[in-house]
Amino acid sequence: MQITSIDDLQKAKVGGLAQLYPPKPKILVGMATCGLAAGAQRVYDLLHKKAQQEHWEGVVEKTGCIGICYQEPLVDLIIPGKPRVTYAEMSPEKAEALWEELAAGRVPEKQVLARMDVDGMILDGGPRKLYQGKLKGFLAKVPRYEDLDFFKLQRHIAMRNCGFIDPDNLLQYIARGGYFALYTALTTMTPDQVIQAVTTAGLRGRGGGGFPTGVKWASCRKAKGWPKYVLCNADEGDPGAYMDRSLIEGDPHSILEGMLIGAYAIGSSEGYIYVRAEYPLAVKTLQRAILAAREAGLLGTNILGSGFSFDLKLNLGGGAFVCGESTALMASIEGKPGEPRAKYVHTADKGLWNRPSNLNNVETWANVPVIIAKGADWYRDIGTEGSKGTKIFSLVGQVKNVGLVEVPMGVSIKQMVQDIGGGVPEDREFKALQIGGPSGGCIPREQWDLPIDFDSLWDAGAMMGSGGMIVMDNSTCMVDVAKFFLDFLIDESCGKCIPCRLGLKRMRELLEEFSSGKGSLEDLEELQSLSEAVKDGSLCALGGSAPNPVLTTLRYFREEYEAHILHHKCPAAVCKELITYTITPELCNGCTACVQECPQGAITGTKKEPHTLNSALCIKCGACFEVCKFGAVAVA
Amino acid sequence: MSVTFKVLETILERYPPSSEHLISALQDVQARFNYIPPEAMTAVCDHLGVPLSRGWAVATFYKSFSLEPKGEHDVAVCLGTACHVRGGRNVYDKFRRDLGIAAQEGTTRDLKFSLRQVRCLGCCSMAPVAQVDEEIHGNLSQRKAGHLLRMYRKR
Amino acid sequence: MITFSINGQEVGGEEGWTVLDVARWHGIEIPTLCHHEAMEPFGACRLCAVEVDDGRRTRVVISCMYPIREGIKVQTETPRVANVRRWIAQLLLDESPQAPNIQELAKSFGVTPSRFKKTGVESACHLCGLCIRACQEVVGVQALTFGNRGVLKEVTSPYHRRSQDCIRCGTCLYVCPTGAMEQIFPLVSSE
């Protein structure tokens, strides 16, 4: 279908709405990577097959991820005139049971997670109530989404369509207000007005630095040179962050629409999306979205009859974290090794092929259509003084409710971990929140009232980064965490400049000594001064922020470093050189599970007799600890 | 799989002779042959008009390229932060022991498995995870890892 | 003419000059390793770091690439700058204790070998890239290249084989500041 005018857009919207809320039952299966990894494909296949075999009146569709990753696979049931019901932790067997109920004309009552009474539809003139009258019986007792701890504080703006639409379906995107913001921008706003709106809204870059998006656009618009390029950074590389992947897999057109609006504002007709090749589904979803938009005329020449033209290319990353850095990303698009260059001349002036270029990350782009559609004032009402809007975080690690969380800026760490995340596992203690990936830092329990926004995190020595949040409890060793991030960065350093290439290696060598109980307190000072040298001396942000995990753990967990150095103890029982595994005879009932699992033959003993562990042979792999069901294996 | 002129031709004709297509063309070669054979490297560089030194530099810089043939099954163990704090390192070492790979990464002698580390597959809710070929396996323990390898050995 | 100050001294230069250009013009000493008059600045060694106050903030930049701007205040010897340079000298000395120019550099910063040693084969090459850039920018051949990345990064030729493109002009040998090319050349040059 060609969409070249507002009438076409309206028609597409009507068509899309009929698909979103058809006058017949509909099953939605969450099939982003997190769902698929949990087995959503088999669930979908089963339901789809059943529907076909039994000539079901309804439809079975796929959708993206709504964020409740710890309950995947998710299946949603949308029956006309009833609230939407979400079923969690599905399997083919459970899906079959669900199907039997459904085929018998009943609303299934098992595996229910929550119900949704109202679809927010933020871009489309407001909420849509899914049923009329009063709920009775079973449905009335099901908790609503907003009653779930996980969702109470959330507000989905960037994720507005994730878990609602089929990401491959352009009409469904339009049905929820998609591409109307583009139309508004193209027909009622000048490029400067668009930039003004984004500036007034207070949107700051969601990929790391938090640079004001409007200011960035304005300098690229002002820059001399032609052509100008608009780029999307989808090279999400921070370990523990996957919100960009989820946005792409759930709602690719929101990114395209954001880029189109940005290109119009900046005066660009060519763009690139640089996406991580390790995300095969995201790559395919983007390819399909670009094709669909091109076919509809939403990419190409004279878009929506406005005279504005823009098209996009998709580039796949080659597997280098440093390519998330803007100049390295541009080098990579040019077909070179991803080595960053000095940014004393900004990429807004000389970027890709030395032309003016504007790079924003996936989540930033996805926010743009909302700002245009709802207005800058609406947007700047959300969040804190210096950080407007919402931010998606991936809440992972030692926390019960793992998933993607989109909250207004300013929610505290405590609310995040305790309220939304449901706290750390039983009999453990919350220790620190690592935020900002390898460039970020570890914030301790003492600071857990800290509001999460750009500036507060910066002052605490961490940074927002792309929004990966790793919850750590007392089973995590902070020296080990610092080592972990250094290993990552050493592996990913391009190696061009000396402070990063050799400095990080030396930092790692010092940490290695600490974690094996060597070193001295003077070495801590050495580590500190080397960290400063790497920070000041490195070429790019990878090296410049690389010491952050070390500096924050030194700042907040110095006593843990000292425990390693002075007392040769690893309080979290992680550092292999400093721990020993033993078997407590009183607790061991001689089940032989550990004997079978030990790769070294270090454990001996006969059945039903307490076993013994020969520590001379032990390589501290922890296999026995993992496999023991009686807590008889101790580590200290 | 032999490196035939025909196969290379179909890859190269997708790209106009310009250096910007170097990475994309090499990705196609890698996908087709599971590594970048030297003759394919030369053909790509000649076609795009870039010196061999540039093609080789690119292929050794980016992790997704391999200049050696890879194993039949690609075992990518996630060592992202979430996996790390949930014991991913021990799982990784278990894979290494079971596959007999002494280095941090490598290919078994029978070319059955290649083992490598990845930093975040974005399935943190199921940490620790590993991806074997296209399939992701979550909530791994050392025992499950051993089981997984036995399963793929039989395939 | 753009005027600004280095260490409080009023200096000036033309549009397109770097801080290092101006400093050298005025005889102000700034150490360098990967810099060469005949080639484009590269920015790898970071030894020429200086502190710049541009009116908004003060930060450490490298003088070989930082373009001069009206009114900036440059300091070439501050504690931050000294810390960066000292560590570079230390790290290089531990990597290549035998290279004469690195020994000299270390001496000027009062740095002695630490307990940490380079892993693998010792080499005087510290990847300044002068040989590669000379081969490409000056000679117009691209026989030499960087291979791999990070700590494995190396100066070599494709596949570590003797290059077919090399014309044996010896420019790389000439520009190499540490003599490391003496070892590399026989392995990469054409036969």
Q: Would you say B150 and B95 are in contact if contact means Cβ atoms under 8 Å apart?
A: no
* Cβ pair C84:A536 closer than 8 A: yes
Which pLDDT score is estimated for C82?
A: 97
Q: pLDDT tens, position by position, for chain B (155 residues)?
A: 456 778 899 999 999 999 999 999 999 999 999 899 999 999 999 999 999 999 999 999 999 899 999 999 999 999 988 898 888 999 999 999 999 999 888 999 999 999 999 888 888 888 899 999 888 899 999 999 999 999 999 87
pLDDT exceeds 90 at position A240 = no
Contact A337 C146 (CB under 8 A): yes
Q: Where are the beta strands (DSSP E) in A429-502?
A: 430-435, 441-444, 468-473
Q: Rounded to an integer, what distance in angstroms lies between the CA atom of residue A191 and that of residue A199? A: 12
Domain count across chain B = 2
Measured between CB atoms, which of A337, A341, A537 is closest to C84?
A537
CB atoms inside a 10 Å sphere around CB C183: 13
Residue in A236, A277, A279 nearest the CB of B27: A277
Are C181 and C152 found together in one domain?
yes
All residues of chain B having their beta carbon less than 8 Å from the beta carbon of residue C143 are: 53
My answer on whether B133 and B82 are in the same domain is yes
Q: In one letter, which amino acid is A582?
A: T
For residue A489, the chain B residue with the least C-alpha distance is: B119
Query: Do A318 and B93 count as a contact with CB atoms less than 8 A apart?
Result: no
Q: C46 and C84 in one domain?
A: no
Q: C52 and C10: one domain?
A: yes
Q: Distance between CA A195 and CA A212 in Å, rounded?
A: 11
Are C63 and C24 in a shared domain? Answer: yes
3-state secondary structure of A210: coil
For every residue of A422-444, DSSP letters joined together read --SPTT--EEEEEESGGGSEEEE
Structure confidence at residue B2 (pLDDT): 58
Q: Under an 8 A CB cutoff, do B51 and C148 touch?
A: no
Which pLDDT score, from 0 to 100, does residue A5 have?
96
Amino acid identity of residue B10, one-letter, is T
Same domain, B118 and B52: no
Statement to judge: residues B99 and B147 lie in one domain: yes
Compare all CA atoms of chain C with the CA of A508 and give the residue at the minimum distance.
C116
Q: Which residue reads 């017949």 in tokens?
A: A24
Interface residue of A321, A323, A344 to substitute, partner C, most C CBs within 10 Å: A344
Residue recorded with tokens 């962050």: A241
A476 within 8 A of A572, measured Cβ to Cβ: yes
A neighbours by CB contacts (3+ pairs under 8 Å): B, C
Same domain, C110 and C85: yes
Is residue A544 within 8 A of residue C62, CB to CB? The reply is: no
H or E segment to which residue B73 belongs: strand B73-78
Quote the radius of gyration of chain A (alpha carbons, Å).
26
Residue C150's domain is classified under what CATH number?
3.30.70.20
Residue at A270: amino acid letter: E
Q: Give the Cα separation of B2 and B21 in Å (integer).
A: 24
- Please report, for the domain that includes residue C69, its CATH number: 3.10.20.740
Distance (Å, whole) CA C82 – CA A233: 36
For residue B92, is it within any domain?
Answer: yes
Give the chain B residue whose CA is nearest to the CA of A330. B20
Q: Which of B66, B78, B91, B119 to mutate to test the interface with A (most CBs of A within 10 A)?
A: B119
CB atoms within 10 A of CB A523: 17
Residues C10 and C59 placed together within one structural domain of the fold: yes
Q: Give the pLDDT confidence score for residue B38 in this predicted structure.
A: 95
Tell me the pLDDT tens digit for each residue of C7-63: 999 999 999 999 999 999 999 999 999 999 999 999 999 999 999 999 999 999 999
| Number of independent structural domains in chain C | 3
Q: Which tens digits make up the pLDDT trace of A55-114?
A: 999 999 999 999 999 999 999 999 999 999 999 999 999 999 999 999 998 999 999 999
pLDDT at position B3: 62
pLDDT the model gives residue A8 = 97
B84 touches chain A (CB under 8 A): yes
Query: How far is A100 from A593, CA to CA, in rounded Å?
Result: 40
Average pLDDT over residues C108-128: 90
pLDDT, one tens digit per residue, over A187-209 is 999 999 999 999 999 999 998 88
Alpha-carbon distance of C179 to C132, in angstroms, equals 14
- Arithmetic mean of pLDDT, C86-92: 97
Distance from CA of A501 to the nearest CA of B (A): 14
> For A493-520, what is each residue's pLDDT tens digit?
999 999 999 999 999 999 999 999 999 9
Question: Nearest CA to B116 among B126, B127, B101, B135?
Answer: B101
Same domain membership, residue C66 and residue C6: yes
* CB pair distance less than 8 Å for B61 and C148: yes
Q: For B75, list phi and psi in degrees, rounded to 5.
A: -100, 110
Give the mean model confidence (pLDDT) for residues A425-446: 93
Identify the CATH number of the domain defined by range A16-145. Answer: 3.40.30.10
Could you tell me if C108 and C160 lie in one domain? no
Cα A18 from Cα A175, distance rounded (Å): 9
**Chain B residues with CB inside 8 Å of C144's CB?**
53
**Are C94 and C117 contained in the same domain?**
yes
Please tell me if residue A616 touches chain C, with a CB cutoff of 8 Å. no
Cis before B128 (ω within 30):
yes
Task: Determine the average pLDDT of the residues in A541-560.
Answer: 95
* Closest CB from A70, A278, A402 relative to B118: A278
- Cβ-defined contact of B61 to C149 (cutoff 8 Å): yes
Determine the average pLDDT of the residues in A265-285: 95
pLDDT at A126: 79
Considering the domain boundaries, does residue B105 fall inside one? Answer: yes
* Token couple for A374: 């709802």
- Model pLDDT for residues A56-73, shown as the tens digit of each residue: 999 999 999 999 999 999
Q: Check whether residue B44 and residue B18 sit in a common domain.
A: yes
CATH topology of domain A179-379: Rossmann fold (3.40.50)
Give domain status of residue B67, yes or no: no
CA A416 from centre of chain: 15
Provide the CATH number for the domain around residue B81. 3.40.30.10
If 0-12 CB within 10 Å is exposed, 13-18 middle and 19+ buried, where does residue B127 land?
buried
Interface check C80 vs A, CB under 8 A: yes
Tell me if A282 sits within 8 A of A275, measured CB to CB. Answer: yes
- Does the beta carbon of A245 lie under 8 angstroms from any beta carbon of chain B? yes
* pTM of the model as a whole: 0.95
* Element housing B125 (H / E): none
ipTM reported for the complex surpasses 0.95:
yes
Mean pLDDT (whole number) for C167-186: 95
A559 three-state secondary structure: helix
Nearest to B125 among A70, A398, A492 (CB): A70
Residue range A478-567 forms a domain whose CATH class is: mainly alpha
| Among B61, B86, B103, residue at a domain's last position | B61
The domain spans of chain A are: 16-145, 179-379, 390-473, 478-567, 580-635
Q: Which CATH class is domain A390-473?
A: alpha beta
Express each pLDDT in A346-356 by its tens digit: 999 999 999 99
Domain coverage including residue C135: 130-188
Supply the pLDDT for residue B60: 97
Q: How far is CA A483 from each of CA A318, A472, A506, A593, B87, rounded to the nearest angstrom?
A: 25, 15, 11, 32, 15
- Are residues B55 and B78 both part of a single domain? no
Q: How many residues does chain C have?
A: 191
Q: Tell me the C-alpha distance between A537 and C72, whole Å.
A: 20
Domain assignment of residue B66, yes or no: no
Beta strand pairing call for A390-397 and A270-275: unpaired
B139 and B84 part of one domain: yes
Average pLDDT over residues C69-95: 97
Burial bucket for residue C27 (CB in 10 Å: 0-12, 13-18, 19+): exposed
Q: How far is A500 from chain C (nearest CA, A)?
A: 9
Interface test with B, best of C132, C141, C142, C184 (most B CBs within 10 A): C142
Percent of chain A scoring above 70 in pLDDT: 100
CB contact under 8 A, B27 and A318: yes
Confidence of residue C119 (pLDDT cuts 50, 70, 90): confident
Residues of A in contact with B48 (CB under 8 A): 335
Residues 22-81 of B with CB under 8 A from A: 22-24, 27, 48, 50, 54, 57-58, 61-65, 79-81
Are the beta carbons of B64 and A318 separated by less than 8 Å?
A: yes
Picking from C82, C91, C127, C128, the residue whose alpha carbon sits closest to that of residue C109 is: C82
Q: Are residues B42 and B89 in the same domain?
A: no
Other CB atoms closer than 10 Å to residue A512's CB: what's the count?
A: 16
List the one residue out of A404, A6, A436 whose CA is nearest residue B122. A404
3-state class (DSSP) for residue B131: strand
Inter-chain CB proximity A495 and C152 less than 8 Å:
yes
Whether pLDDT at A278 is above 90: no
**Chain B environment of C148 (Cβ under 8 Å):** 60-61
Q: Do B119 and A397 touch (CB under 8 A)?
A: no
B57 lies in the same domain as B92: no
Compute the count of residue pairs across chains A and C with CB atoms less than 8 Å apart: 95
Q: Give the model confidence (pLDDT) of A294-329 as tens digits.
A: 999 999 999 999 999 999 999 999 889 999 999 999
* d(C-alpha A284, C-alpha A292), whole Å: 12
How far is the alpha carbon of C167 from chain B, nearest alpha carbon, in Å?
Answer: 15
Residue of C nearest to A320 (CA): C149
- Spatial CB neighbours of A633, under 8 Å, sequence gap ≥ 6: A581, A582, A583, A584, A594, A613, A624, A625
Q: Check whether A393 has a pLDDT greater than 80.
A: yes
Phi, psi of C182 (to 5 degrees): -55, -35
- pLDDT single digits (tens) A558-603: 999 999 999 999 999 999 999 999 999 999 999 999 999 999 999 9
Chain B: list its partners (3+ Cβ pairs within 8 Å): A, C
**CATH number of A580-635: 1.20.140.10, 3.30.70.20, 3.30.70.2190, 3.20.20.70?**
3.30.70.20
The domain of B93 spans 73-154
